[in-house]
Homo-oligomer: A and B are copies of this chain.
Amino acid sequence: MNKFTMFGKMTAHPGKREELTSLLLEASRSLNNMESCELYIINESVDDPDVIWVTELWRDAEAHADSLKNEEVLAVIQRAKPLIAAVEPVRLRPVGGKGLGV
C-alpha cells in the first residue's frame, strides 16, 4: 500500500479561523471530482480557537504533489495565505485500520 496521509495544522491569525475554514471547505469541493483524493476533512481545534487541522488521504504521495499544481487549488492557497500565521505539515504512511479502504 502506497497511500499517503497528511495532517496539516494551520494556525489562523486571531479572529480569522472562520474565514479560513470557509476557504478550505471551498477547496474541498474542487477535490470532489479528484478520485486520487480519498479524504480531505477540515477540523477545528476544540482547545485552540485559532487552529485548524486538515486530514488528507491520497492514493499516493504523487497524487498529493500533483494536486498542488491544480489551478483551482493554487488559487485557494493564494487567497488563504494572508489568513494563515503558521503551517505545520505532518507526513504519514497509513498502515491500516477502520475506514481506510485498501
- Enumerate chain A interface residues (CB-CB to B < 8 A): 5, 7, 21, 24-25, 28, 31-32, 37-47, 53-55, 57, 90-100
Contacts and interface: CB of A to CB of B under 8 A. Distances in A.
A26 to B, nearest CB: 10
Contacts of A24: 97
Contacts of A39: 97-99
30 contacts: A5-B41, A5-B55, A7-B7, A7-B53, A7-B55, A21-B95, A25-B96, A28-B98, A32-B98, A38-B98, A39-B97, A39-B98, A40-B97, A41-B94, A41-B96, A41-B97, A42-B94, A42-B95, A42-B97, A43-B94, A43-B95, A44-B93, A45-B92, A45-B93, A46-B92, A47-B91, A53-B90, A53-B92, A54-B97, A57-B99
